[in-house]
């Protein structure tokens, strides 16, 4: 099979990191896929990692505006796609992404309330129609997700937001995924083993169809 791009999405504490490692395990063990690359947004290239620090922590002497944050996220995304994701897929790798463009529409649109038409404009200029082959949206209630990350120290700008911010972000995710057949919703409120089972079923069914195409 050709290289693919699978993205995992969800709010804080949805379990994306654990899910990504599990997906890599399934791809290796059950599908004998050897070339697997895990990436995260924002980040991974030297420039994108610098931008990640700015996006997450801002600057103590200057507030990062919501639009500036959005632009920095897209700048980091362009670097990652051009330098890592596209070349890896071209070489036959399966790239698993921790977040992608859906995060921008959900967080910047739903959480920060930037109008969709503004995000869409930046999106079109930046993305050149590049899209994931599959997105798994781990849907967790903010009350549950935030409890899971409660003990985390050194919280970033977004982790310090109120529960309403995450409720609005989740609401936007749910609205966005409704009519997109390439996005599968997973109930991430369940125990981790139950979440894994759902992921495995959905992923295997999708791969089965892909193999027939």
Residues binding ligand T5A (CB under 6 A): 10, 12-18, 40-42, 73, 98-99, 103-104, 107-108, 148-149, 158, 188, 191-192, 195
Please report how the helices 16-31 and 192-212 are oriented relative to each other, as an axis angle in degrees rounded to 10.
Answer: 50
Q: Which is nearer to ligand T5A, 3 or 13 (CB)?
A: 13
CB atoms within 10 A of CB 130: 16
From CA 69, how far away is CA 188, in angstroms rounded? 27
Q: Least distance in Å: CB of 186 to ligand T5A? A: 10
Q: Which is nearer to ligand T5A, 193 or 211 (CB)?
A: 193
Residue, CB closest to ligand T5A: 15
Q: Which is nearer to ligand T5A, 42 or 132 (CB)?
A: 42
Answer whether the bond into residue 42 is a cis peptide, omega within 30°.
yes
Q: What are phi and psi of 143, to 5 degrees?
A: -60, -35
Q: Which is nearer to ligand T5A, 3 or 43 (CB)?
A: 43
Q: Least distance in Å: CB of 52 to ligand T5A? A: 8
Q: State both tokens at 41.
A: 């947004």
Q: Least distance in Å: CB of 8 to ligand T5A? A: 8
Q: Least distance in Å: CB of 188 to ligand T5A? A: 6
From CA 105, how far away is CA 180, in angstroms rounded? 14
Q: Where are the alpha helices (H) located in the chain, listed in sequence order?
A: 16-31, 46-57, 66-80, 86-90, 101-103, 116-127, 142-148, 163-177, 192-212
Q: Which is nearer to ligand T5A, 17 or 65 (CB)?
A: 17
From CA 35, how far away is CA 188, in angstroms rounded? 27
Q: Which is nearer to ligand T5A, 34 or 197 (CB)?
A: 197
Closest CA to 104 of 41, 171, 185, 186: 41
Q: Least distance in Å: CB of 210 to ligand T5A? A: 25
Q: Least distance in Å: CB of 93 to ligand T5A? A: 20
Q: What are phi and psi of 85, to 5 degrees?
A: -65, -55
């Amino acid at each position: 099979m050709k290289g693919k791009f699978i993205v995992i999405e969800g709010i804080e504490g949805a379990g994306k990191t654990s899910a990504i490692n599990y997906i890599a395990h399934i791809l290796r063990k059950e599908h004998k896929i050897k070339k697997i690359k895990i990436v995260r947004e924002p980040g991974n290239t030297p420039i994108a990692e610098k931008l990640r620090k700015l996006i997450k922590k801002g600057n103590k002497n200057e507030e990062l505006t919501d639009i500036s944050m959005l632009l920095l996220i897209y700048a980091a995304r362009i670097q990652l796609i051009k330098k890592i994701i596209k070349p890896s897929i071209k070489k036959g790798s399966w790239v698993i992404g921790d977040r992608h463009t859906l995060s921008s529409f959900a967080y910047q649109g739903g959480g920060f309330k930037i109008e969709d038409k503004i995000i869409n404009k930046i999106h079109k200029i930046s993305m050149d129609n590049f899209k994931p082959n599959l997105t798994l949206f781990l849907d967790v209630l903010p009350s549950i997700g935030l409890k899971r990350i409660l003990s985390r120290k050194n919280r970033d700008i977004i982790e310090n937001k109120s529960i309403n911010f995450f409720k609005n972000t989740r609401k936007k995710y749910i609205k966005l995924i409704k009519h997109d057949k390439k996005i599968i919703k997973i109930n991430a409120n369940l125990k981790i083993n139950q979440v894994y089972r759902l992921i495995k079923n959905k992923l295997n069914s999708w791969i089965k169809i892909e193999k027939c195409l």
